[in-house]
Structure 1
Amino acid sequence: MNLKSNAAAATNRLKIGFVLTRSFTLSAFALFVDTLRLASDELDKSGRIRADWQVLGNTRHLITSSCGVQVAPTSGLVDPAPFNYIVVVGGLLNSENPIDDETVGFLKRAAARKVPLIGLCTGTFTLAEAGLMTGHNVCVSWLHYQAFRERFPELKVRSDRLFNLDRTRGSCAGGSSAADMAAQIVRLHISKEAERNALEVLQIDKARSHLHVQPRKPLAIESNDPRLNAALIIMEQHTENTISISELAASVGLSRRQLERLFMEKAKMSPALVYRKLRLERAKHLLIQTDASLIEIALEVGFESAGHFSRIFAKTYGQTPSRLRAQRST
């Protein structure tokens, strides 16, 4: 490759800037950046030929991850315009002020310049807190779904998918799905061959798409059908504000009759019965782990009265909610 082609390659490189929050998740960051590294060059040579990446910060102070490993910024908060994406890597939600005001300002400047912003793991919380997810679809881990709903009730959020990526915003559940999202970006901006090289070196058989359902199995129901798994996650998310079986079916692209047949085939129960079991399991957890009153718990899991809740609970578990709670202290 001559000097002129070297310069052209550098100009066309995929450029990604990372903003690491306090107590960020190291695994999500590492998988994302390593997918870029391996896609950028042949095999495991690690040259920044087709991609470049920087860890951005307003100081060169080390940033501590949730596991204690520290990472140093490699660049200041430079002009965001040359970046194809800015990725905010989140972590522990109990970290106050995960990024400082200057970094928030940088993200707002990037948004104003139409640079796509991605929330990785709980980085989506950071973007939403800055008002930068308004009007966009949000994807978070099932583990953080309730916390996101409570903090940002005006935003539409789902946790039955691994990631979401549109032209100006992205969000990712984190964990191993960071590699899946990075692989899609590599495929879009570099090539399928670069994606394949990265995944093979990472020992990943195939990247999962944005339509892939998060690996969550409420009630330990084993199924390889993504529609059923998505329906289970949606049920789990709506134990209080319950939705109808018809609405549930439509949310996974099925008619009510098709969903009922699917549940009977795979789970050996109707969706209505599975839904009730999920709500009662949530109630059982609240009885054991909290001091909430019976009426509060009944309403929390979608029952209109404590009496109705107690009767259904006793019929299912062979003892009343009060008896179960009394056993907690014995």
Structure 2
Amino acid sequence: MQSRFLYLTHTKQLFRNFKMAAFGTVFMPKMALSTFENGQWTDAATVSSDSIQLHPGAHVLHYSSTCFEGLKAFKHQDGSVHVFRMDQNVKRFAQSSNLLHLPQIDQRQVSDMILDIVAQFKDEIPEPPGSMYIRPTHFGTEAAVGKAAAPSASSMLYVLISPVGDYFAGGARPLRILLDETGMRCAPHMGMIKSGGNYASALGPILEAKEQVQADQILFCPNGDVQETGAANFILIDGNEVITKALSSEFLHGVTRDSVLEIAADLGMTVSERDLTVTELLERAAKPNVEAALSGTAAVLTSVGTLIHDGIEYKVGSGEHGPTTQKLRQALNQVQWGQTEDTHNWLTEVK
């Protein structure tokens, strides 16, 4: 009982100071949870978010049968709360689960779990640019260490939520990105799965790049093919054209990426989803008005100011925050924050 009291006290204290805390380190005391047992999903329940019960032989701990999602709920000026592009995140969640051969999720149930747990903490959602970050997670729980070549017959699915402020609360600066033509973020057939193993496999090269050339991230370009960084999609902006790699199984199909491309089209820009080589990237980066950016749920859209390749640093355009990048980010934020019309029906209101 005392440890439980200390946990809740600590959580409340962290929440009061969430603007001071690192992104995603403050959690609400409750989460939604369901398990798959004996061929069916249990009814979702609201449980404590400070722990889960898991057998040491659980499939996920030995064979990494796990996937997750990241999306946000925003509080509008009238006090209403809206989840951004929940349908697309739940669809991708189902895709990841299927590709990992986890039990098939019930997309309607997952959507209800998201809306229900966010509704319970509507009053705790920060005002923009803050939001409630939502982390659905699904993993295999069957205790069977002999199943290295077989899927887990049981699983657990929960929805954890975290009040967050601006990802760059201290002020964003243009990023330094190392171009890596020798490695890949993950195995090619795993790229479109949002699985923790993909992030772990990229961690070593990223840490090495930070130490050796003070890079913020690595842009993986196997054999010169520009793909994605360890945690975000890559976008190049050349005048009125937005260029990014066409969707394939090799990299994650970002919901923010898709949103940015749709907004760019709305603004009359040309959207080119195609292969982009390192050679072309460096040639275009030398032009004065070119911009580059990374897109993702947490940071939304962030300018890239420097590319590092074969020991040489290349400034992207002016090397500073790009005006078009900022315009696209602002346009996306205005939809999320309810400051402009939601013409694409991206928002789901939380009742």
Pick 1 or 2: higher relative contact order, CA cutoff 8 A, min separation 6.
2
- Structure with higher helix content: 1
TM normalised by structure 2 equals 0.26
Larger Rg: 1
- Structure with higher strand content: 2
TM normalised by structure 1 equals 0.28
